[in-house]
Amino acid sequence: MRTFIAVEIGQDVRGKAAALIQRLAATEAKVKWVEPENLHFTMKFLGEIDPREIPAVCDSLSKSVTGLVSFEIEALGAGAFPTPERPRTLWLGVGEGSEQMVALHGAIENGLAELGFRTEGRRFRPHLTLGRVRNSPLGIRELGDLVQANAGFPAGRTIVDAVVLFSSELDRRGAHYEPLGHAELKG
C-alpha cells in the first residue's frame, strides 16, 4: 500500500491555492496539476508499506506529535524545485510557521526511524505541491517567470493541529487519497 503523512489545509488556503494553480496554468507548459481536493502539505512519503504496518505507524505518529502544540501557518509564495528557471515541481510555500513545520517533520522522522524508515538527507522545506511539470520545453520560460511573479502570493492561514496517514492509489485520472489514521498535536 502506497502511503504518506500529511497536514491537511483549510478551505480558505485550498481556494487560494486553486486560484494560484489557475494563474500558473495560463502558460502553454505541460503540467500535471494537483486537484484542489488533494492539496496538502506532505510531511513524509513512506512509499509502499505492508498494511499490517499501519497500526505501528499510527502509534509512532501519535507518540511523536502528542507533546507538540498546535500552531498556525501562513501559506505564502509560489516556488519551484529545483529552480523557477528549470521547474519540475511547482509549489506553494510557508511563511510564518515554517520553523514549527520543520520541527514537526523532525519529530515524525525521528519516530519513524525507530520503525526502520529512512530519514531524509536534506533539510525539510515545507511546501504544498501544486503540480509536476512534464517533459516539454513549451512554455517553461513563461511558467518560470509566472512563478517568480507570484513569489509573494498570499494564500491565507491554516491551523496545524494534526497529521494524517494517507494511502494513495494512482490511476489514469490521478491520485485518490484515503485517510488511514490521525495523530493530534495535544501539547
Q: What is the pLDDT of residue 73?
A: 98
Q: How many domains does the chain have?
A: 1
Its domain, for residue 14, covers 2-184
Position 173 scores a pLDDT of 77
So what's the pLDDT on residue 170? 84
Please tell me the predicted confidence (pLDDT) of residue 120.
86
Distance CA 64, CA 110 (A): 8
For residues 94 and 69, the answer to whether their CB atoms sit within 8 Å is no
- Catalytic residue selected from 105, 127, 176, 182: 127
The reported pLDDT for the residue numbered 172 is 81
Distance, CA of 92 to chain centre: 9
pTM exceeding the 0.75 threshold for the entire prediction: yes
Predicted confidence at residue 144, as pLDDT, reads 96
CATH (domain of 47): 3.90.1140.10
Q: Among 40, 105, 176, 182, which one carries the catalytic annotation?
A: 40
176 tagged catalytic: no
Which stretches of the chain drop beneath a pLDDT of 50?
none
